[in-house]
Structure 1
Amino acid sequence: MIRRSTRLRTVAAGAAVALAGTVAAALPAAAVPSNGLVIDEVYGGGGNSGASYTRDFVELQNRGTEPVDLTGWSIQYHSGSATGSWQVTPLTGTVAPGGYLVVAEAQGAGGTTEVPAQVTGSIAMSASSGTVALVAATTPLTCTDSASCVTASTDLVGYGSAAIAEGTPVGGASNTQSVGRGTAPDTDVNATDLAAGAPTPGAVNAGSTPPPTPPEPGPVRIHDLQGPGFRSPLVGQAVTDVPGVVTAVRATGSSRGFFLQDPTPDADPATSEGVFVYTSAPAVSVGDSVLVSGRISEYYPDAAPADAQTLSVTEITGPTVTVLAHGAALPAPEVVTPTTVPDVYAPDLGGGNLEDTPVTPSRSALDFWESREGMRVQVDDARVVGPSNQYGEQWITTKPAQKPSYRGGTLLTGENATPSGRIQLVPLVDGPDVAVGDVYAGATVGPVDYSQYGGYLIAATQLGAVVRGGLVPTVVRAASARELTVATYNVENLDPTDPPAKFAALARGIVVNLAAPDIVALEEVQDDDGAADDGVVTAGKTLTALTDAVVAAGGPRYSWREIDPVDDQDGGEPGGNIRTVFLFDPHRVSFVDRGAAGVDRSTTATQVAGSAGRPALTLSPGRIDPTNAAWSSSRKPLVGEFRFGGRTVFVVANHWNSKGGDGNADGRFQFPVRSSETQRQQQAALVHAFVVAILKKNPLAQTVVLGDLNDFQFSPALSVLRTGRADGRGVPVLVDMIQTLPANQRYTYVYNGVSQVLDHILLTPGTFLQGRVGYQVAHINSEFPDQTSDHDPQVVSLFGAFR
């Protein structure tokens, strides 16, 4: 089942807003029997086991002869103990003489009948014991004893074992019974004035008494508070009685609340008619016609506004909600077709802030979705381009013909060229996990929202029926015995604390899907106690567990070579000490160990030595210039000298600096600054120079450069690696094998619904003169919800051809 997202919000936003108004009755100095507004009924069992009503509620009755304006009044609840604090639900509306007003509170998981309420709060009341106060103010009470609380309130009901009550608390309240008044005068003794019975909110009394007068909508509509820009023109201001229909409720996770949409739009295509109402305990239902008062906020999911890279979400915070009616028709969703969203994902502003420009829906996908923020949209027959993750997030495309991969994804083909049809999908309803290429046949519907982890999203309240695309993991073609096979695989922070199932799955991938390569370069192998930051840097336990799992999967008994890093100097997870490692089948290849014992290989550079025509390493295994600043807080390349069939093959395993710290491709600064590129270009230059040094000894030397380079095939860093120049105009000394594949097969990784290249195998030109070269990417992880790693491995065969 899909897991609902818990990570759309990382910090709480907003504070409760007290709405000023005219107090319609004076606060009594002492309790006297009430002939005016009283608490008529209290029910705390809503949504509990056996309950018919879905919510708790408090019913008020006006026993007086004049209407009572509730502006500035509140219902307050206390657990009834001698300690604790009061919770507040502000009131609105006017109760006519003889009339009733129902305040619905928190909703439970059970029940089938909605409470017919005029005001909705979010207080979770106890079914059996507590205290409810009617107060002619919205400031929380501070009293914790009966005498003080009676004095501070207009009316007070304690039930069950409550320590706070008028006289003796009334008994009998439960999941199925409320406590309510009869027709007798109020005596200010709860046990005398009220009795337990079946709940009878509002509608039961409507036939004999005039209903309360509903409030009118305030002057501000949703399109006014959204405005024509990316930020609200009313940010920080209070708004009163904004009308709309509840279109979706998010009751779980850290971003709780509900989506509100005005069914009467304006004529401006830049102003959205939807908004998110942020409240930790949403007490409304889809189809409620409501008025919402609160304060306008711009929420940045990733950081404080001064440091945020993301766009913001316009919200109403600290809401007070008045329910006018249930079961209202929802605004029809806008159908998004393959031509609806612009083909450009983001405008080029030279790094400028998108929020400083007006929303122009025809300019870019970011503009388009901002103009629909909070509104219902519909995508028909949506194809999945990014699989479900552990948070329930997935990605679809609204443009199925845009840059498709051969397995159903959508490709990144250039810098700042995010496919504009791709959008995140976070279901608010349960559904199956999905893989790339699956299709939601029919309509997928929900309001538009925004997340720091994937830009704009559809919070789906309706999913189409899943039609499986039939995607299966790749199994590479087996090479002949005369061919050398070399693979690269990022095993995602592997350490002994990982479950045995991960080791077994990685082993199956190596043995079955990669056909047990002769040499495997591993990235992200952690030390023997994983993330524990205790000075341990060895990785023998990790590698023993993996190689044992390979044997159990039917593969060879691999040997390995690696160099333990200096503690906490190679980046990655703190304490993990990730490194690159060579696995090799000693029955197929031999590793040439070079260098004197006792040399600190973690900080001593290997050099290219040997005679003309016969290059050799001074240290094997060794590292390329490990003390160079280019490798600061980053993995150092591992170099090894291998022998296969009388040939010497040099292998350089890499795991370059990550893209952490780069600007957000879905964010407010466009085009984003890619600050991490500088270090990768420096790293590329060092590896390029090392390969050149080998080729100077022997221009036909067989050299394989491979690993997780954390950059795209069209990036400046890869141009530097291949040619020594960022513009790619130098003489190529390496061929990037991913570029030899058809264009629709060029990807090794799926990130936020975009198929892209981060992992590479590059060969020196002389390698191609030694026989045919075969190259394959094994798509076994990134397109599937049950990933063993977030990267797909790849393999190259040298000195022959596949059978």
Structure 2
Amino acid sequence: MRTPRLVLLGTALSLGVVAVAAPAATAVPSAGAMIAEVYGGGGNSGATLTNDFIELGNAGSTDVSLAGWSVQYLPASASAASPWQVTPLAGALGANGRYLVAEGAGAGGTVALPTPNASGNIPMSATGGTVALVNTTTALTCKTAADCAADARIVDLVGYGAAVVRETTPTPATSNTTSAARPALVDTDNNSADFVIGAPTPTNAAGETPGGGGPAPTPAKINEIQGAGHLSAMDGVKVSTTGVVTAVRAFGSSRGFWLQDPQADANPATSEGLFVFTGSTTPNLAVGDAVTVVGTVDEFYPDAAPASSVMLATTELTSATWTVNSSGNALPAAEVLTPTTVPNAYAPSPGGSIEALPLDPSAFALDFYESREGMRVQVDNARVVGATTAFNEVFVTTKPDQNRSARGATVYTGYDDSNSGRLQVLSLIPFAQRPFPQANVGDTLAGATAGPVDFSRFGGYVLQATQLGDHVSGNLQPEVTRAERGGELSVATYNVENLSPVDSQAKFDRLARAIITNLATPDILSLEEIQDNTGPVNDGVVAADQTLRKFSDTIVALGGPRYDWRQIDPIDGQDGGQPGGNIRVAFLFNPARVSFVDKPGGDAVTPIEVTQGEFPFQAKLSISPGRIEPGDEAWENSRKPLVGEFTFRGKPVVVVTNHFNSKGGDQPLFGRFQPPNRSSEVQRLKQAALVNAFARKITDIDPFANLVVLGDINDFQFSPVMAKLTEGGALRALIDDLPVTERYSYVFQGNAQALDHITVSPFIFRADYDIVHINAEFADQASDHDPQVVRFHPTSIPWPSS
């Protein structure tokens, strides 16, 4: 099982032509015998193998006699006097076979080569040189790429490292622990394109590898390799299989190709598709090639070593070689995913890993996609349910009516309904040829979107598109809420996503316009993710006055009111978030509409207290602004709630703004453990309990209090955290008043969900609540959260003047 690799998601890079100053050795590309691998670090410091070696391969279907042939070596920077060193060959290079030539040995290394088919004693360089396969044993005399290209005796040639003699451009440099190997027996006469640098893998004509392992590969059909479970029973086995190339990934660090057997078996649980991993080397294959592939079966986990991974594995072939048997073949038909194809249930729930369970593709979505892993699927006229991200990924749904909102989103309504219709789409089409669609929720990829099924750590099962539907806009528009009327007070919450002065003026402008236009200039605004004056620079600065001043100034410059602000600077590095940013929550308020009641004494460590006032039903705050129990373990490495007392038309209003700890560390919905462990919930439950206790202190004294508790709670309306926050009736969640399919302020992996909330005390009647959708559904966002606003008429118990 391989260690995790970094995968560049959705980034199709154009392949440019590299200009070289010197002419290249460009013999006619080999179609039969060729050099398959060269290694010069044998016996050197840090090497495992004791010998250098040269491995030959045969891409043809007939044996090649090597009688009278040789392999020859020239140093990378050969002088006029440097000789070509010669190792004679004998016997034959079998059809689709290998032939191993042992060369010089060093004092180090612990593992011998498998029994070589020929031996020499050439001390090859570990980092650079030229190796030629020659149809004579007479030493070559050419010393330049051009002269060697003109020598008809050279059957194949590779220059590695800084080699002067090479085909087109040399391979990258090798080392004591790496070789240059040809992952496919295809010769384009460009060494840098044909070879990849990696661990040496010497193989002799008998198929033996170091330590005597692996004679001939085990013949197996793809469905036998995949099996009827999440994990292949052939993991670690060297196999030989056949199929048609259906897609090639030619970019990033996880290049390779998908292979599918057009002759499917009768078992719906066994996939007919397979990914062949070629590392950072683009395989020289075309869609429609029928190939025979030899490689080692591997279960690849994208996030961590198998023992600690929370993801599902992808069955792949690694260390692969292949032979093209024919080209231009028709592809296996893509399976069309209709609204009823994928099961409604998302995953089985064994209370642990699902990997050992037999697949039931008719019952569970995760089992369905595992049974189609590597196979071509197709979605027609797919509706977008997760807008295009910066990583060029988009989420669509195969089930258009599944928990559909009025604006086209798919709403996450409960832990027992993860919305099995969601499917991530990436593109294998070069962006220079087909730019990735910048789609919003409710848009459509009209026509067919098709490609093989893959797995991504950033969204689960994914359709790697070789065909993208046409982007058709749904004309979704940002919402605009109404202004307050008469005696209404408006209070809003907005996560502004790590706002600091280092952000562009354009971001400040967009956020300010949203405050003015979309939120209709609320009287009190709870802001989450306000950073210090130097943003992510970790320099000890904790003050955020410049951040808030710039935001307030921008609102004024764009025609809005002059907002004032209140906040408390955290202790450096103690409130979590982006390192150096000293994230915190803050209030903006319009002093022309409301007054802030300043009570001195609030700082990063002093807890706010609630006491009985001098009159009945009068709850007094000790400080304003203040923090709720800032020293409690519940707030470790997390933002502390900010409490502020306001007056509106003579009526007291208490507002608590929150940003609970994130969901980082939770297991994914699409992972191997079902149901997923929500480990981050433990801390949020403690935070919710403290805020609830604070709210109850107020309402126990003043049942008619005007109390608003709001912010980024980082949890869903159906979560235990929200139940804890509203426990005992001191607060009620306004989102519960909305229709189920309208309860969202954030879209993650195609699930529209509620992380932001406004709760109010019981005697705030006829509260007019609105989630204002302006960001989460759109590819172009000022923040990843949508703001919310509540409008209400505050009540009060009139107290005698003191």
| TM bin (shorter chain) | 0.7 to 0.9
Cα gap change, 1:147/1:295 in structure 2, threshold over 3 Å: closer, same or farther?
A: closer
For 1:576, the equivalent position in structure 2 comes to 581
1:629 is displaced (CA, Å) by: 1.4
Q: How many residues align?
A: 669
Contact 2:569 2:603 in 1 (8 A): no
Given candidates 542, 551, 560, the residue that maps to 1:537 is: 542
Structure 2 letter corresponding to 1:787: Q
Q: Which runs of 5+ in 2 are unaligned?
A: 9-14, 41-51, 67-83, 90-97, 106-119, 160-165, 169-185, 189-206, 208-215, 796-802
| Corresponding position: 1:433 with 2:438 | yes
Aligned to 1:338: 339
Q: How far, CA to CA, are the matches of 1:9 and 1:308 in structure 2?
A: 13
Q: Secondary structure at the match of 2:573?
A: coil
Q: Deviations over 1:494-537 (max 9, x none)?
A: 12222221111111111111111111100111111222223221
Superposition deviation, residue 299 in structure 1: 0.9
The aligned counterpart of 1:250 is 249
Aligned twin of 2:274: 275
2:368 — aligned with what?
Answer: 368
Please say if residues 736 and 763 of structure 1, whose CA atoms lie closer than 8 Å, have aligned partners that are also in contact: yes
Distance in 1, matches of 2:151 and 2:58, equals: 21
Residue deviations 1:14-50, cap 9 Å, x none?
xxxxxxxxxxxxxxxxxxxxxxxxxxxxxxx996689
Offset of residue 485 of structure 1: 0.8
Structure 2 partner of 1:74: 36
Which residue of the partner structure matches residue 155 of structure 1?
133
Q: 1:94 Cα deviation (Å)? A: 4.5
Report the Cα distance in structure 2 between the residues aligned to 1:557 and 1:658, rounded to whole angstroms: 32
C-alpha displacement of 1:154: 6.9
Matches of 1:718 and 1:61, distance apart in 2 = 67
Cα separation, 2, equivalents of 1:775 and 1:56: 72
- From 503, 508, 512, the equivalent of 1:507 is 512
Q: C-alpha distance in 2, partners of 1:590/1:684?
A: 28
The residue aligned with 1:613 is 617
Determine if contact 1:146/1:166 at 8 Å carries over to the other structure. no
Q: Find out whether 1:752 has 2:726 as its counterpart.
A: no
- Listed one character per residue, the Cα deviations across residues 42-95 of structure 1 (whole Å, up to 9, x for unaligned) are xxx996689xxxx98863488xxxxx8x8xx636599xxxxxx99978444454
DSSP 3-state at the match of 1:691: helix
1:678 matched to 2:640 = no
Counterpart-to-counterpart distance in 2, 1:132 and 1:457? 51
Q: Does 1:485 align with 2:490?
A: yes
User: In structure 2, which of residues 623, 628, 633 is the aligned counterpart of residue 629 of structure 1?
Assistant: 633
Summarize the Cα distance change of 1:592–1:321 in structure 2 as closer, same or farther, 3 Å threshold.
Answer: same
Aligned residue number for residue 782 of structure 2: 788
Q: Give CA deviations for 1:306-364 in whole Å, capped at 9, x if unaligned.
A: 11111011111111121122211111101111000001011121x22110101110121
Q: Distance in 1 between matches of 2:473 and 2:405?
A: 17
Partner amino acid for 1:249? Answer: V
Is contact 1:133–1:156 with CA below 8 Å preserved after alignment? no
Distance across 2 between alignment mates of 1:493 and 1:219 = 55
Task: Pick the aligned partner of 1:179 from 144, 149, 164.
Answer: 149
In the superposition, relative to structure 1, how do residues 97 and 489 fare at CA in structure 2: closer, same or farther (>3 Å)?
closer
Question: 1:278-317 maps to which residues of 2 (within 5 A)?
Answer: 278-279=277-278, 280-281=280-281, 282-317=283-318
Kindly tell me: are residues 170 and 11 of structure 1, through their superposed partners in 2, closer, same or farther at Cα, counting changes over 3 Å? same
State the SS of the aligned residue for 1:766: coil
Counterpart residue number, 2:558: 553
**1:58–1:363 distance in 2 versus 1, CA, 3 Å:** farther
Instruction: Tell me the percent identity.
Output: 50
The aligned amino acid for 2:618 is: R
Q: State how far apart, in whole Å, the 2-side matches of 1:179 and 1:153 are.
A: 13
Partner of 1:711: 715
Other structure's SS at 1:356 match: coil
Q: Is the 8 A contact 1:132 1:156 kept in 2?
A: no
SS of the aligned residue for 2:219 comes to coil
**SS of the counterpart of 1:541?**
helix
Which residue of the partner structure matches residue 704 of structure 2? Answer: 700
Query: 2:394 maps to what in 1?
Result: 394
Specify the code of the residue in structure 2 equivalent to 1:485. Answer: S
Tell me the equivalent position of 1:167.
Answer: 141
> CA, structure 1 residues 670+700, in 2 after alignment: closer, same or farther (shift >3 Å)?
same
Q: Distance in 2 between matches of 1:790 and 1:496?
A: 19
Q: How far apart are 1:482 and its partner, in Å?
A: 2.8
Asked whether 1:602 is paired with 2:605, we answer: yes
Matched AA of 1:220 = A
Could you tell me how far apart the structure 1 residues matched to 2:339 and 2:490 are? 43
Q: Deviations over 1:195-243 (max 9, x none)?
A: 99xxxx999xxxxxxxxxxx99962111111111101111111113x11
CA distance in 2, matches of 1:533, 1:290: 54
CA separation of 1:152 and 1:48: change in aligned 2, threshold 3 A: closer
Distance 1:152 1:679 in 2: 61
C-alpha RMSD of the superposition: 3.7
Aligned residue for 1:502, secondary structure, equals helix
1:141 offset after TM fit, Å?
A: 7.1
Q: Residue type matched to 1:74 in 2?
A: A
Q: Note closer, same or farther for the CA distance 1:300–1:98 as it changes in structure 2 (3 Å cut).
A: closer
Task: Indicate how the Cα distance of structure 1 residues 91 and 551 shifts in structure 2: closer, same or farther if over 3 A, else same.
Answer: farther
**Structure 2 counterparts to residues 77-116 of structure 1, below 5 A:** 90-95=57-62
Helix, strand or coil: the match of 1:294? strand
Deviation, structure 1 residue 254: 2.6
Shift of 1:733: 2.1
Supply the distance in 1 between the matched residues of 2:755 and 2:341 (Cα, whole angstroms). Answer: 31
Query: Residue 403 of structure 1 aligns with which residue?
Result: 403
TM-score (norm 2): 0.77
Is residue 2:354 matched to residue 1:380?
no
TM-score normalized with structure 1 length: 0.77
2:479 pairs with 1:474 = yes
- Report what 1:762 is aligned to: 759
For residues 134 and 588 of structure 2, the distance between their equivalents in structure 1, rounded to whole angstroms, comes to 75
Change (3 A) 1:549 1:94: same
Question: What is the distance in 2 between the residues matched to 1:749 and 1:132?
Answer: 67
Question: Contact between 2:260 and 2:375, CA under 8 Å: does it hold in 1?
Answer: yes
C-alpha distance in structure 2 between counterparts of 1:147 and 1:681, whole Å? 69
1:356 equivalent in structure 2? 356
For 1:221, the equivalent position in structure 2 comes to: 221
Is the deviation greater in 242-251 or in 495-504? 495-504
Amino acid across the alignment from 2:537: A
Distance in 2 (CA, whole Å) between partners of 1:133 and 1:779 is 73
Residue 59 of structure 1 corresponds to which residue in structure 2?
A: 29
SS in 1 for 2:685: helix
Seen in structure 2, the aligned counterparts of structure 1 residues 228 and 616 have a Cα distance that, compared at 3 Å, is same
Render the CA deviation track for 1:573-612: whole Å, top value 9, x for unaligned: 222211110000111111000134xx54434334344232
Structure 1 contact 489–707 (Cα < 8 Å) conserved: yes
Task: Give, in whole Å, the separation in 1 of the partners of 2:575 and 2:367.
Answer: 40
Q: Deviations over 1:752-793 (max 9, x none)?
A: 10001000001112111xxx4211111111111111111100
Secondary structure at 1:685's aligned position in 2?
Answer: helix
1:643-682 maps to which residues of 2 (within 5 A)?
A: 643-682=647-686
Residues 318 and 185 (structure 1), Cα distance of their counterparts in 2 relative to 1, 3 Å cut: closer
- Partner Cα distance (1:87, 1:550) in 2: 70
Q: Within 2, Cα distance between the matches of 1:664 and 1:46? A: 38
Matches of 1:779 and 1:56, distance apart in 2: 60
CA contact (8 A) 2:85 2:122 kept: no
Letter in 1 for 2:347: A
Equivalent residue number for residue 324 of structure 1 = 325
Preserved CA contact (<8 Å) 1:394 1:424: yes
Letter in 2 for 1:759: D
The whole-number CA distance in structure 2 between the counterparts of 1:156 and 1:764 is: 88
Post-superposition CA distance 1:120-143 (Å, at most 9, x none) = xxxxxxxxxxx9999974579789
Contact kept? 1:747, 1:756, Cα under 8 Å: yes
Q: What is the deviation of 1:633?
A: 1.6
Report the residue type matching 1:458 in the other structure: L
